[in-house]
Amino acid sequence: AVANGTTNFIAPFILDPNNSNTLLAGGANLWRTTNAKGIIPLGWTNIKTSIGSNISAIAVAKGNSDIVWVGHNNGNIYLSTNGTAVTPTFTQVDINTVGVPNRRVTRLTVDPNNSNRVYATFGGYTPDNVWRTDNAGASWTSITSNLPAAPVRSLVVWQGNTDYLYVGT
């Protein structure tokens, strides 16, 4: 089922950090299998329908598989707080009125100690490619600081001190 839809050239796939049997895959839709350890993962289910822009980033909160974040090529970001439901509900939380870039989301990273704090990185040779929300997407702040105007492809939170970030451009 996943191969029948459109995807980015490099499509996002992630294992749920809380359940290694659950694999999420992004294309035009978000797909889930709970049989990731099978010889051929079976039982793919469409859990988020297309918004007309491919999924480019997926994240699941450590310690809570119900919290699923999805980013799209057009900069839209969605959150589900019931991600393990048969039909999860996804709510758009990027609120472009606060300046979140309208370009490809390259990475979503959930703080391992606070699932309301999420980092979103963006592509493009422009400023403001690293953003953070501390309230599950109700508001966003650019934390790009003195990083170059270049795409940010990776962001990792150090578990020893979650105020320390590793960012890859």
Cβ–Cβ < 8 Å for 132, 121 = no
Task: Phi first, then psi: give them for residue 98, nearest 5 degrees.
Answer: -95, 10
- What does pTM read for this prediction? 0.93
Enumerate the β-bridge partners of residue 18: none
Q: Per-residue pLDDT for 4 more than 70?
A: no
Predicted local distance difference test score (pLDDT) of residue 159: 85
Burial 127-137 (b: 16+ CB within 10 A, else e): ebbbbbbeebb
Written as six digits, the tokens of 141 are: 């702040």
Cβ–Cβ < 8 Å for 60, 24 = yes
Predicted local distance difference test score (pLDDT) of residue 141: 92
Residues 6 or more apart in contact with residue 137 via CB below 8 angstroms: 77, 79, 93, 94, 95, 118
Q: Per-residue pLDDT for 137 more than 50?
A: yes
pLDDT digits (tens, 9 = 90+) for 74-133: 999 999 999 999 999 999 997 766 667 889 999 999 999 999 999 999 999 998 999 999
Average pLDDT, the chain: 92
Q: Per-residue pLDDT for 3 more than 60?
A: no
Query: What is residue 3's three-state secondary structure?
Result: helix
Written as six digits, the tokens of 25 are: 């895959």
The rounded Cα 156 to chain-centroid distance in angstroms is: 13
Residues 6 or more apart in contact with residue 18 via CB below 8 angstroms: 60, 62, 63, 64, 65
Predicted local distance difference test score (pLDDT) of residue 40: 76
From 106, 81, 111, 107, select the one nearest 93 (Cα to Cα): 81
Q: Per-residue pLDDT for 2 more than 80?
A: no
